[in-house]
Amino acid sequence: MTDKLEASFPEDEREAVYRAIHARRDIRHFVPYEVDETVLQRLLEAAHAAPSVGFMQPWDFIIVRDPATRRQIRDHVSAEKEKAGAHYEGKEAALYQQLKLEGIMECFVLIAVTCDAARGGKKNLGRATMPQTAQFSVCAAIQNLWLAARAEGLGVGWVSILQPGWLKELLHVPEPIELIALLCVGAAEHFPKEPLLQTVGWRSRESLKELTHQERWRKPMTSLSQLISRIEPLNQQLMDQAQLRLDSLTKPVGSLGRLEELAKWLVGVTQQSRPRLPRKVVFTFAADHGVTQEGVSAYPAAVTPEMVRNFLRGGAAINVLARQAGAEVIVADFGVAADFGDLPGLISCKIGHGTANMAKGPAMTEADALKAILAGAELALAEKKRGAAFFATGDMGIGNTTAASALVAVLTGARVEDVTGRGTGIDDDTFRRKVKVIRQALAVNKVDAGDPLATLAKVGGFEIAGLVGVILAGAATRTPVLVDGFISGAAALVACRLAQPKPVRDYLAIAHLSVEKGHQRIARELALVPLLDFRMRLGEGTGAALAMPLLDAACAIYGEMATFQEAGVPGKSEISEDVIPADR
């Protein structure tokens, strides 16, 4: 084996190639600048040098300079952008309207790139089984042009919000020639360090590790161990850089308190230099609990399915607060003791019709607990792929505070009475019965704190297991997770124990401190300080929704405040002591 590839470029030339690749951006803002025709020709030659299937070279380039034609195109794109905006809601819609998606009039020239799939004849080499490789070849030419432009210091913006048929007619492109791209080319106002949509928080870059498969396609997740294996530490280097920026903002160091802590945490979790949370998702999972047979709740189990219907109608507290926060509520049935049929808006992950009575034996099998965890994780991973930047946890299930108290007692070693509260508002007699039932469940099931999965199966709930999956998926995909109250906290505790020594806890923030005594113990156990203390105990994800604006505020402060240098304001170290009044 040779030590060096003889055909490789010198090191400085290799670095220049990779620099162009990583510095390429989709440019929307251009400044007046007349590009030399020889430079423009070099860009076209770079595009024309692209590889193509069967060497068919299916591309053509239409150079558009005429201001009147460009105005027509701009007006068409503006109208199409307005139509496309109807697909978005809330803060996502507002962000979409603010985005500048083209530089048609500002750029030096437009280049329409087309594909003639018939070029080379019917027997073109390499297209018999994959005829679409003609279009792929044109994309390779576009990429060549884009990278060459970046090397020349020019920007390129791909305009895609348009009707191809309309533009073909305007530019007299005959059938069956296909329009592939409309490119804006010119001098960029600036080249951002990160893609625009990542900078504004629309989407973050996917993990290359998740997109790389060895030998065979790897399913998104086939086991708990695979999910846990993806969890990595926070990016400390980015967090250190975030702290330097926070300390340089136009304010006394640390004067914004926990907002600064949140901003730094979000940078470390998301690995974004300017984190944004445009699409927030609350997972509200519902299930029933067999332990209600023991009379541990003030409400009957029949309340659970009715509350699920209320969630879907948008009439519950979580719906109201989520709307205020600009968040979407995902409602899933993990084990409600009722059949909903094909109920619009409800996701069915039903493991069973409620758990078994844990006072008489295991609430579920370990296989069912694992199934619920993975179902919750799959839902979270699917929402992540849809652009969710942030997860929040919520729950609904009569009897679930009994299950949560049992879990916390086992996993923390606390006395049952010290982590058991009044749940739905039970009286003294019911409270004493509840404590007794939990003690009985722990004894009957011979629980072992060293086996968190078995503990979850013996005294947990289907919806709690589902939330464990959401939390693990959040940590595995570098997604911030806002943990709601007592039930969600119990799920967080289970998730952290299941994944040890992986740092699941570092991806979590506790939204509020529940009045449930067990929740206080969870916060201490995880060494996390809740963001709010509003004496809430509803669940559903309400506390998480209420705390969401704090995270939005942390993002805004971090991303929008000026530094002392930017504002031209002298920092503390720049102010001479002799100009500071003595009485200060």
Flag whether pLDDT at 578 surpasses 50: no
Quote the pLDDT of residue 199: 78
- Percent of the chain at pLDDT exceeding 70: 96
When pLDDT is averaged across residues 409-421 and rounded to a whole number, the result is 96
When pLDDT is averaged across residues 265-290 and rounded to a whole number, the result is 94
Residues catalogued as catalytic = 540
Quote the pLDDT of residue 581: 38
Banded model confidence at residue 263, pLDDT cuts 50, 70, 90: very high
Banded model confidence at residue 577, pLDDT cuts 50, 70, 90: very low
Is 36 in a helix, a strand, or coil? coil
Residue entry with tokens 């803060």: 91
Domains and CATH numbers, the chain: 11-198 (3.40.109.10), 280-551 (3.40.50.10210)
Quote the pLDDT of residue 572: 62
286, 304 contact by CB (below 8 A): yes
Would you tell me how many other CB atoms lie within 10 Å of the CB of residue 191? 12
Structure tokens at 525: 């156990």
Tell me the pLDDT tens digit for each residue of 21-43.
999 999 999 999 999 999 999 99
Tell me the pLDDT tens digit for each residue of 177-201.
999 999 999 999 999 988 988 777 7
Tell me the pLDDT tens digit for each residue of 520-558.
999 999 999 999 999 999 999 999 999 999 999 999 999
CA distance linking residue 23 with residue 35, whole number of Å: 20
Flag whether pLDDT at 561 surpasses 70: yes
Quote the pLDDT of residue 574: 53
Q: For residue 394, what are the contacts with CB-CB under 8 A and spacing of at least 6?
A: 282, 283, 284, 285, 318, 329, 484, 488, 539, 540, 541, 542, 544
Rounded mean pLDDT of the chain? 92
Amino acid symbol at 185: V
Nearest to 192 by CA among 110, 274, 278, 108: 274
CA distance linking residue 43 with residue 111, whole number of Å: 11
**Class of residue 52 by CB neighbours under 10 A (exposed 0-12, middle 13-18, buried 19+):** buried
DSSP 526-561: HT---SB-------TTHHHHHHHHHHHHHHHHHHHS
327: which strand partners?
280
